[in-house]
Structure 1
Amino acid sequence: MEREMALLESFIKSDIDARQLKRAIAVKMALSGKIYHEISQMLGVSNFFVGYWKKQFKTKGIAGIQLGHKGSKGYLTARQNTEVIEWLKNKEYWNLDELVTYLAQGFGVIYKSKQS
């Protein structure tokens, strides 16, 4: 139990997504003896949320409460991202069509949809 609490505390103090933080705090409170109803009211979640993430933590550890989706691989390198951001900073105003053209001509990134 102490090891689990220390693991959770370390995870909570790390730079994590708010959803993961809420899960970790709910699990920590449940493991420390707080009742689910109390936890759900304090965090604005359901009793099921508390029980589900506690079970995930107990069976899989920290990996059980982490986000599963990692996102897709970007089209630009870190250096190219920085270059685009600098280009945008030097603009007086931003225009989506101009950005799309800049990315296509400078980096070969073609957008299929302007909503993406």
Structure 2
Amino acid sequence: MTKKMNNLQLPQKDMEKEISQLESFIKSDIDVRELKRAIAVRMAQEGKLYHEISKILGVSEFFVGYWKKIFKTQGVEGIKLGYKGSRGYLTERQTDV
């Protein structure tokens, strides 16, 4: 008997790998916004319902689905913040004063 899977389900081995990646990312020193995204995705991967996740984390159900989709297509890199700040106007010499 073969198992049927829809296009969002992965074999157990792949699911464990994704959860392991998320766990490593969560334990690293990350921005709170990245943390919330990663936790939402991990909870969804574990089978929690979107409305439960949204109540626990204080986010919308759309937020959960959006970041899960991004994770599926781009991995951990996709849930990282894209904004890295602007370049400062002062030179190194001016900041050392």
What is the TM-score with the length of structure 1 in the denominator? 0.66
Aligned partner letter, 1:15: D
User: In the alignment, which residue of structure 2 is the partner of 1:51?
Assistant: 65
What's the offset of the Cα at 1:2?
0.7
Runs of 4+ displaced beyond 3 Å:
none
* Rg comparison, structure with higher value: 1
Question: Which residue among 15, 37, 41 is the counterpart of 1:23?
Answer: 37
What is the TM-score with the length of structure 2 in the denominator? 0.78
Question: What runs of 5+ residues in structure 1 fail to find an aligned partner?
Answer: 84-105, 107-116
Question: What runs of 5+ residues in structure 2 fail to find an aligned partner?
Answer: 1-14
What's the offset of the Cα at 1:63?
1.2
1:26-53: per-residue Cα shift (whole Å, max 9, x none)?
0000000000000000000000000000
Aligned partner letter, 2:76: I
User: In the alignment, which residue of structure 2 is the partner of 1:4?
Assistant: 18
Q: How many residues align?
A: 82
